[in-house]
Amino acid sequence: MPFSYFIVSFLFFLLVYFVDLLRTEALPHWSSNSQTRLRNALLQGPDGDVPNLWYNMKGAVVYEASKQHIDVERSLAIKIHADAAPTSKVDGMLTISWSSLHGKGTTKETKNVYATIPKSWNVELRDVFKRFAWAMNALIDGTHPSLDWQGKPAADAGRQLADGWRLAPIFCVSDWEFYSNVCGFPTGRGCVEMA
β-strand 92-100 against 111-118: which pairing, if any? antiparallel
Per DSSP bridges, beta strands 75-86 and 166-173 are parallel
**Whole-model pTM?**
0.69
Name the residue among 103, 101, 117, 110 with its Cα closest to residue 172: 101
| Residue 29 near residue 21, CB atoms below 8 Å | no
Check if the beta carbon of residue 141 is closer than 8 Å to that of residue 163: no
pLDDT at 188: 66
pLDDT score of 146:
93
Query: Distance between alpha carbon 191 and the CA centroid of its chain, in Å?
Result: 28
- Report residues of the chain scoring pLDDT below 70: 1-42, 88-90, 188-195
- The pLDDT value recorded for residue 85 is 76
Which stretches of 39-164 are assigned E, i.e. beta strand?
75-86, 92-100, 111-118
Closest CA to 130 of 150, 109, 144, 110: 150
Backbone phi and psi for residue 167, each to the nearest 5 degrees, phi listed first: -115, 130
- pLDDT of 23 reads 41
Question: Which pLDDT score, from 0 to 100, does residue 191 have?
Answer: 53
Q: What is the pLDDT of residue 153?
A: 93
The per-residue pLDDT for 13 is 46
For the chain, report the end-to-end CA distance as a whole number of angstroms.
43
Q: What letter represents residue 143's amino acid?
A: T
Task: Look at residue 98 in the predicted model and tell me its pLDDT.
Answer: 87
- pLDDT at residue 194, rounded to an integer: 52
Predicted pLDDT at 171: 82
